[in-house]
Amino acid sequence: MSRRKKGEAITGWVVVDKPVGPTSSDVVNRVRRLFNAQKAGHAGTLDPLATGILPVALGEATKTVPFVIDATKAYRFTIRFGLATTTDDAEGEVARESARRPSNAEIEAAFPRFRGQIQQIPPAFSAIKVDGERAYARARAGEAVELAARPVTIHEIALVSRPDEDHADLEISCSKGTYVRSLARDLALALGTVGHVSALRRTRHGPFGEDAAIPLDKLCALGHIAPAPGLGTHLLPLETALDDIPALAVSGEDAARLRKGQGVLLRGRDAPILSGSVLATHRGDPVALTEYGKGELRPVRVFNLVS
């Protein structure tokens, strides 16, 4: 006899404005408890010192997490020039100093070499695995961690403000896998100095932006009001994460086939316009994420939504 899952079958996305301090896992656990959801996950880690957009998936929405992980992200961050740290952010110990401070013109002149696809070496203090162990665990143990460069894409990079000669505020949009700490480190080196990230905020993650986010403390406050109907207003539909994927309404019979893991042949005008990933729906409700090919919808992720 299977064990009954704890919690309720809550499905949707909650866009949390993460504060400084908690880990991404801490935030996910708080949101899951607030909604009393059976399962939860997030779509991209934010370091404890970072703030901003952390999309949390509940229930069947966790099946759409890979689509959000692959999405473009946007960040606003501050480089502190003149000090390199062991972690490439303000949490680490000072490892190197430099008296040089670049001008605004020099900073902007360096941007072209960081736009587009670049090769980036992740920070030693990162979650990347080295021989089965997290790099940060090896680094904390005093080991010299050498990580291979990997391709990432910086779509846009701009200088926003210069509070003083030691600091520069920048904004970027980038691909998955981009480490802002590495970008700050490498930009400072390209400018003939050293530097680290002293503040970092994610302002957008795929379809989720600051306009849809709620600060974690406000969400927790709503959860402490009994009853707590206000929580539901911050639960976005599962399909919010799939705004770039075409949707196709299917019949009840075809929906049943897809839910059983069976393919559905398309006929008529629908077939020619489809390509790749397709969200199959029935009466407005998500049925399955499918792949279209050779005239057939093949289910990849089936959604078991409770009516």
What CATH number is given to the structural domain containing 77?
Answer: 3.30.2350.10
Lowest pLDDT segment from 25-34, 58-67, 253-262, 291-300: 291-300
CA distance 57 to 301: 15
DSSP string of 27-77?
Answer: HHHHHHHHHTBS-EEESS---TT-EEEEEEEEGGGGGGHHHHHTS-EEEEE
In this structure, is residue 307 part of a structural domain?
no
Average pLDDT (137-164) is 85
Q: Please state the domain count of the chain.
A: 3
Residue 277 is part of which domain span?
245-302
Are residues 214 and 276 both part of a single domain? no
Q: Establish whether 47 is a catalytic residue.
A: yes
Answer whether the bond into residue 227 is a cis peptide, omega within 30°.
Answer: yes
CA distance 264 to 117: 38
Question: Catalytic one among 17, 47, 89, 186?
Answer: 47
Q: Is the pLDDT of residue 269 over 60?
A: no
pLDDT tens by residue, 169-210: 999 999 999 999 999 999 999 999 999 999 999 999 999 999
Are residues 96 and 121 both part of a single domain? yes
CA distance 106 to 110: 6
Are residues 277 and 225 both part of a single domain? no
Angle, vertex CA 132, rays to CA 129 and CA 135, nearest 5: 35
Residues belonging to the chain = 307
Are residues 233 and 279 both part of a single domain? no
CA 115 to each of CA 33, 119, 261: distance values in angstroms, whole numbers, following the listed order: 41, 11, 42
Compute the half-sphere exposure of residue 71: CA atoms within 13 Å on the CB side of its CA: 23
pLDDT of 1:
45
Are residues 160 and 123 both part of a single domain? yes
Are residues 83 and 198 both part of a single domain? yes
**Helices and strands in the chain, H and E counts:** 8, 19
pLDDT tens by residue, 20-44: 999 999 999 999 999 999 999 998 8
In this structure, is residue 6 part of a structural domain?
no
The domain boundary residue, chosen from 193, 219, 240? 240
In this structure, is residue 1 part of a structural domain?
no
Q: Is the pLDDT of residue 227 over 60?
A: no
Are residues 212 and 251 both part of a single domain? no
Are residues 138 and 41 both part of a single domain? no
Average pLDDT (266-273) is 63
Write the single-letter amino acid at 28. V
Are residues 172 and 156 both part of a single domain? yes
Q: Is the pLDDT of residue 271 over 90?
A: no
Relative to beta strand 247-249, strand 208-209 is unpaired
Angle, vertex CA 172, rays to CA 100 and CA 77, nearest 5: 55
pTM of the model: 0.89
Are residues 18 and 53 both part of a single domain? yes
Average pLDDT (247-265) is 92
Are residues 66 and 213 both part of a single domain? yes
Q: What is the sign, positive or negative, of the torsion defined by CA atoms of 238, 60, 223, 29?
A: negative
Q: Which residues contact 247 (CB under 8 A, 6 or more apart)?
A: 239, 278, 279, 280, 281
Are residues 195 and 141 both part of a single domain? yes
